[in-house]
Structure 1
Amino acid sequence: MSTLKKSFRIAFILCLLSVSAFSQIIQPPKWEISLSDQSAEVGEEIDLIFRAEIPKNWYIYSNDFDPDLGPMLTELSLEGSKGLEKVGELQAIDPKRKIDEIWEGEVSYFTGKGEFRQKIKITSEQVKVNATLGYQMCSDVTGQCVPYEEDFSKTFSAQATSNTQTQEPVTTFKEQTSEESEKAQNKEVPKTEIAESPEKVTKVSEQAADLSGDPEGKQGDATDLLPFLIAAFLGGLAALLTPCVFPMIPMTVTFFTGRSKNKSQGIKNAFIYGLSIIVIYTLAGTLVAAIQGPEFANWLSTHWLPNIFFFLVFIFFALAFLGLFEITLPSGLVNKMDAKADQGGLTGVFFMAFTLVLVSFSCTGPIVGSILIESAGGEIIKPILGMFAFSLAFAVPFTLFAIFPEWLNGLPKSGGWLNAVKVVLGFLELALAFKFLSVADQVYHWGLLDRDIYLAIWIVIFALLGLYLLGKIRLPHDSPLENLSVPRLLLATITFVFVIYLIPGLFGAPLKSLSGYLPPMATHDFNLEKLIRENKGAAVSESEMTEAPKYADLLHWPHGLQGYFDYEQAFRVAKKENKPLFIDFTGHGCVNCREMEAKVWSNPEVLSRLKNDFVLVALYVDERTELPESEWYTSEYDNKVKKTIGKQNADFQITRFNNNAQPYYVILDNEENLLIRPKAYDTNPQNFVEFLDKAKAEFEK
């Protein structure tokens, strides 16, 4: 065989491997159906139990949240079953909950394992269960969502009614899917040829967050943990500059220099002192971590009671920092620790550190409490590392000044600036308090703290902080401000810049950098930016549309874009206009589809290309509108009749592109050939621009 032929074969094999790696059918969870009581009698009620083993890095949505929110709720159909009656609705057993910023509300979900129960009443001795479970599985690692339908079939015999009391063993039956469904899972589907050499598929990192316990990917995620640790470390530095702590530095140095026999002993005691501070605070973090668990975290993050409690705690801390009152510990406790510190030796050093922690509590307590509250959420590492970072920043200066007492000469003298630091922290605590009230407000739909009201509160708080820094406002314990220092002026400038940044948010500006702290955009009463953009898009597009889009009364495009919702119509228009066809395989319940639209499609470069260079078609795979019977067909993939818009779109994606996950973006030419390798979830706008530009350039060839 010639070298040229060998090279061609190798290239061809690599091409196929690349296509198959990118275009693949994502397998569903492994399901198991069982009965709560196999020996039930006719007339009794039992539970059908559906248990799922969910793949690593994936989660499925439950069914006990607002159906209008967005994600696809898990639903059960017993159509075709005999000898039973459905009692009540499908129940999710202990799902997890969270506030989803994309969906702007609370969702429930399962990771690792999931369980649903449906109560049924036995009506005859021969029972046939035909169950279809419809649900949605998503991943925050791959950025994909997949809608599924799982079929179950089981027959069993019930006992005739008698007065004999029966036992209630639980018997588990393996899932029995139809032969057609089993064949469909292993069936080969045709591959679509690619017009250009496929690029190497980027693999998901093996070190990606294990979402089996956290679909947000934040448990142990360095990208989430690092900012928190930096904030905790800065909190420790800020605590040093409060009136309760700063004067303690020279007192500590005096303690070591006066009692140490020589310098080496002083250095040793200083290290033990600093280590003791770190141990004391880290133990507090460990205690918080120990009492947390998944159920506790679930309750903590969603129930109104802890969120209102945290809101009141932050308000309490803020008022204390602003000077309304002082937080003090019982004097007896402080005196006991101080007496133990006088014992000398290593024990005395440890209790000297304990005395510092207690004496400074009135200033450090609010900061420490804020760190522990922010870290609460079922995580083990976060509160421990948070307290370690805080105590490290807090302990190192004490240790260094004890080792090098001559550095004390360079410290500024105590004065009114210490109270100013405390007041600034008070304003920050006051602003952050409303985050917890907002969570409770969203979960329970109280309507107390809409986005515009929340922003108005923040604007007022930070404007007052700016005026305070300029010396226009004086609070209790403040010294007269004779002149304005440069650092204070710079902080005031930064504060007013932040206020100006917030103001457009009152009129609908997204303020993406604060998305994690602000209420959802859906709660905004007057979104001027959205109103202008959508009206402008609609006015331009009506005259440009070649045909009136089918299903436009049901479905809509974001950002004022105009396109189609039926493949055949869109392809016909693309051919007529001689433009490439951009296919968006999407879903109402696809969270990552919404994220792509919010973060990528909103980019001006992406938006202009989608609007001007392509004919657009959005194919919703979970649209449940039933088509006329004349448009039904039986799929070659799973031998099921496709009756709805969504079922036909999902079948089209699988059979034509060997893929069943969304978001999934495909660009075709006027002969229905791929112009470029399809693209999945990628929140980098520049990558999407390159994807569109390459497809357009290939089309123009």
Structure 2
Amino acid sequence: MFTGVIHSANSQILEPVKWISEVEKVSDADYNITFKAIVAEGWYIYSQKSSDNFIPKTIFKFNNQEQNYKLNGITIEPNKEPIFDKIFKQNVVKFKGEVLFKQKITTLNSNTKQIKVFVEYQTCDNTKCVPGDFVFDLSLDGSTIESKEIAIDEKSKKLSDELELNITGWNKYKKHTVEEKSNLSIFFLGFLGGLIALLTPCVFPMIPLTVSFFTKSSSNSKKGLFNSLLYGFFIFIIYTLLSVPFHLLDSLDPGILNNISTNVTLNLLFFVIFVVFAFSFFGYYELTLPHSWSAKMDHKADKIGGFIGVFFMALTLTIVSFSCTGPILGTLLGSSLTADGGTIQLTMGMSGFGLALALPFTLFAMFPKWLKSLPKSGGWLQTVKVVLGFIELALALKFLSNADLVEHWGLLKREVFIGLWIIVGIGLMLYLFWKIKFPHDNYTKKLSNGRIFTGIVVIVFVIYLIPGLTNTKYANLKLLSGFPPPIFYTLYDKTSEYPLNLNCYKDLNEGITVAKAENKPILLDFTGWTCVNCRKMEEQVWSKSKIYKILKQDYIIISLYVDDNQKELPKDSQFNYLRANGTVKNIKTYGDKWTALQTTNFHNNSQPFYALLNTNMELLNTTSAYEPNSEYYYLWLKTGLNNFKEYILK
């Protein structure tokens, strides 16, 4: 007979599953843990091993195992053949009735008496799926104890329950995603940033020096080639690993990246840092990491030798080149950790950056004769550095704008922002044509072809910006959508403070009430003040005449700003929300609430994110994310509207 402790779910959501756990002591350090899921009749729980991202998985997370214990092998589940699933329309491995999951562990120290385990899963019947999560507190002294439910008061339980919209219709539509496209785009942006970094005075001169060192100091050419390849590989790995801490943060709180990107203090800090970097690029002072850091790394490289020595040489390059790569990496960091970005995009961007930096060291080692074709270091590197300084000033304004939008200060209205960009552009143009100069410039009256070409590009860009200062139809600078503040954040009088003067409701209940009264479908729009892709959708897709018409006439738009973290909820509406991983989030602001609402109902925390619903919270079409193809988006809206008309005729 199976004995153990029954664990109850938190009261936020419907739970067709009960859990029992049992701990069996095998030796002084070894234990067998069994989790038993008791699934209600008509419901199923899914395997841990699904290879399809759209099929839910059962996931066990063992807390603090690095310090206290290790897992012996994987968590074992029943061996069962796939069967057809009516919701996902394919064969999947799923279980019903009573299901046993088993895991062996070995404790690493005698003080380990208790461990915590999280289980996340979805339970589905033939019409719907319900998310579930449990927290197990397991004693290892031979007995079992009931897991301690995290205490949240009745008010918090009630308000948490209200986040659950009980959305139906998931079985009718496949999930829509554009993740792969955006990840590839951010990788190439990172790669482009790395190529730019190669042209800076901190990195470019290192290419021939480093490659020559490897090829000449090694006992044979093959070893020199191998070390150069290894050197490039380590550069790539170092920059990729810089994104790992953000994955850990994201696993603790799915909204953490949103909070980072919209945090006013951090955005102001980025603004100051970028301005400081800009004037460093102009040559007024030099920013470097402490010399002791690079000296210590260089010493280790000389002392150790071999694989590890090459690694420390790569680390030394990373540290020494920081004054030039830091601002470019900061731009990549700031653009990736946005409401519409995320840790995967950050990793892709950092990987692209590292690959671009590593390539020349590898290629020139393979073809050393190419070294002779490299241009000599000189004044052109100083020009590149100053140009980057102007770009840093322009990017600094974006971070200041983020803070201004979130706090609604009104300091950087759209026209002010664009005007400042025009001033920066004019300054860059004057520098390129030698009308102004900076310290360390080697002034020459003769203009190179490169300076002339770049100057012309800057002039064209400044001319393009000028209509953005007006209150005309040409003010929508579509090529820059998402970078300047939104069109409705303007100095001119506007009849609406919403995108394109559309009547968007910022309160969920108010929007649903209006939709019922007017008998219209709902476009639920999860957006953000600092969301670049949200602005691109509004200014490049929503602005299309036929899309604008259907949005204005046929839909009730409910725009929920997940980064509205400065506007607090009324005191009686603030509560503690129990997350799926067992931690508690204090819901104090509207941004907190809408983030929790999105993750609870859609298991998604990216923006923009769209759902078409009727007033009974039934899906009218697949959910959608960033979709720059206006024809596809129009068809998506039109299909949802037709499905709504069929619904009301029933």
How does the TM-score come out when normalised to structure 2? Answer: 0.54
Q: Is the 8 A contact 2:486 2:535 kept in 1?
A: no
**Secondary structure class of the residue paired with 1:523:** coil
1:415 aligns with 2:356: no
CA distance in structure 1 between the aligned counterparts of 2:357 and 2:391, rounded to whole angstroms: 20
The residue aligned with 2:335 is 374
Work out which of the residue numbers 178, 182, 185 in structure 2 matches 1:227.
185
Residue in structure 2 matched with residue 487 of structure 1 by the alignment: 450
Alignment of 1:128-143 (within 5 A): none
**1:108-507 counterparts in 2 under 5 A?**
119=155, 205-206=174-175, 208=177, 221-292=179-250, 293-294=252-253, 296-343=256-303, 344-376=305-337, 379-507=342-470
User: What is the percent sequence identity of the aligned residues?
Assistant: 43
Question: Who wins on radius of gyration, i.e. which is larger?
Answer: 1
Instruction: Give the conservation status (yes or no) of the 8 Å contact 1:244–1:363.
Output: yes
Q: How does 1:32-111 map to 2 (within 5 A)?
A: none
**1:265-312 residue CA offsets vs partner (Å, 9 max, x unmatched):** 111111111112122222222234434542532431333111111111
CA distance in 2, matches of 1:520, 1:288: 28
The answer for the alignment partner of 2:3 in structure 1 is none
Alignment CA distance shift 1:403-1:203 (3 Å): farther
8 A Cα contact 1:247 1:414, kept in partner: yes
Q: How far apart, CA to CA, are the structure 1 residues paired with 2:191 and 2:535?
A: 35
CA contact (8 A) 2:240 2:354 kept: yes
TM-superposition CA deviations, 1:47-100 (whole Å, max 9, x none): xxxxxxxxx99xxxxxxxxxxxxxxxxxxxxxxxxxxxxxxxxxxxxxxxxxxx
Q: Secondary structure at the match of 2:520?
A: strand
Q: Given the superposition, is the C-alpha separation of residues 620 and 404 from structure 1 closer, same or farther in structure 2, using an over 3 Å criterion? A: closer
TM-score (norm 1): 0.50
Which residue identity is paired with 2:306?
Answer: G
User: What is the CA-CA distance between 1:514 and the residue it aligns to?
Assistant: 2.3
**1:357 aligned partner, one-letter code:** T
Question: C-alpha deviations, 1:220-278, integer Å up to 9, x for none?
Answer: x2233222221211111111111111111221122112211221111111111111212
Tell me the distance in 1 between the aligned counterparts of 2:557 and 2:199. Answer: 57
Residue 689 of structure 1: CA displacement?
Answer: 9.5
Counterpart check, 1:512 vs 2:478: yes
Partner secondary structure for residue 243 of structure 2: helix
- Tell me the distance in 1 between the aligned counterparts of 2:407 and 2:445: 49
511 and 662 in structure 1: CA distance in 2 versus 1, 3 angstrom threshold: farther
Higher mean C-alpha deviation, range 398-407 or range 448-457: 398-407
Aligned to 1:168: none
- Matched AA of 1:474: K
Quick one: which amino acid aligns to residue 326 of structure 2? G
RMSD: 5.1
Contact in 1 for aligned 2:279/2:285 (Cα 8 Å) = yes
- What letter corresponds to residue 506 of structure 1 in structure 2? L
Question: Compared with structure 1, are the counterparts of its residues 264 and 600 closer, same or farther at alpha carbon in structure 2 (3 Å cutoff)?
Answer: closer
Q: Structure 2 vs 1, CA of residues 519 and 401 (structure 1 numbering), >3 Å: closer, same or farther? A: same
For residues 581-620 of structure 1, the aligned pairs below 5 Å read 585-586=520-521, 602-604=543-545, 618=554
Alignment size in residue pairs: 421
SS of residue paired to 1:394: helix
1:118-162 C-alpha deviation (Å, 9 max, x unpaired): 759xxxxxxxxx999988969xxxxxxx8xxxxxxxxxxxxxxxx
Q: Is the 8 A contact 2:232 2:359 kept in 1?
A: yes
Change (3 A) 1:434 1:515: same
| Partners of 2:469 and 2:495 in 1: CA distance | 10
AA of the residue aligned to 1:230: F
Q: CA 1:587/1:606 → structure 2, altered by over 3 Å: closer, same or farther?
A: closer
The residue identity in structure 1 corresponding to 2:485 is P
Change beyond 3 A, Cα 1:489–1:584:
farther
Does the Cα contact within 8 Å between 2:294 and 2:319 map onto a contact in 1?
yes
Q: Could you tell me whether the CA contact under 8 Å between 1:285 and 1:383 is conserved in 2?
A: yes
1:330–1:30 Cα change, 3 Å? closer
Distance, in Å, in 2 between the alignment partners of 1:595 and 1:273 is: 40
Q: Which residue of 2 aligns with 1:162?
A: none
C-alpha contact 2:482 2:535 (8 A) present in aligned 1: no
Cα distance change of structure 1 residues 524 and 658 upon mapping to structure 2, 3 Å threshold: closer
The answer as to whether partners of 1:456 and 1:506 remain within 8 angstroms in 2 is yes
The residue identity in structure 2 corresponding to 1:374 is: S
| In 1, Cα distance between equivalents of 2:265 and 2:614 | 48
Q: Is the 8 A contact 2:165 2:617 kept in 1?
A: no
Q: CA 1:256–1:684 in 2, change beyond 3 Å: closer, same or farther?
A: closer
Instruction: Return the offset for 1:686.
Output: 4.8
| Alignment-mate amino acid for residue 360 of structure 1 | S
User: Which residue identity lines up with residue 307 of structure 1 in the other structure?
Assistant: N
CA gap 1:368/1:497 in 2 versus in 1, 3 angstroms: same
The Cα shift of 1:390 comes to 0.9
Per-residue deviation at 1:461? Answer: 0.9
Residue type matched to 2:423 in 1?
V
Could you tell me how far apart the structure 2 residues matched to 1:595 and 1:376 are? 17
Aligned-partner residue type, residue 521 of structure 1? I
CA contact (8 A) 2:260 2:266 kept: yes
SS of equivalent to 1:348: helix
Say if 1:584 and 1:618, in contact at 8 Å, map to a contact too: no
Q: How many angstroms apart in 2 are the aligned matches of 1:283 and 1:690? A: 39
* Change in 2 beyond 3 A, CA 1:243/1:285: same
- Structure 2: which 5+ residue stretches go unaligned? 1-11, 16-52, 55-130, 134-150, 505-513, 528-533, 559-612, 643-650
Distance in 1 (CA, whole Å) between partners of 2:300 and 2:463 is: 53
Pair 1:256–1:523, CA change in 2 (3 A): same
The letter for the 1-side match of 2:453 is: L
- What amino acid sits opposite 2:227 in the alignment? N
Once structures 1 and 2 are overlaid, which stretch shifts more, 464-473 or 427-436? 464-473
- Deviation sequence 1:497-529 (CA, Å, 0-9, x none): 221221111114122332322212222012799
Deviations 1:425-448 (CA, angstroms, capped at 9, x unpaired): 111111111222112212222222
Structure 1, 395-404 or 597-606: larger mean CA deviation: 597-606
CA distance change for structure 1 residues 530 and 383 in 2, over 3 Å: closer, same or farther? Answer: closer
Partner letter of residue 315 of structure 2? F
Matched residue type, 1:375: S
**Counterpart for residue 487 of structure 2:** 521
**Structure 1 residue matching 2:272: 3-state secondary structure:** helix
Offset at residue 472 of structure 1 (A) = 2.3
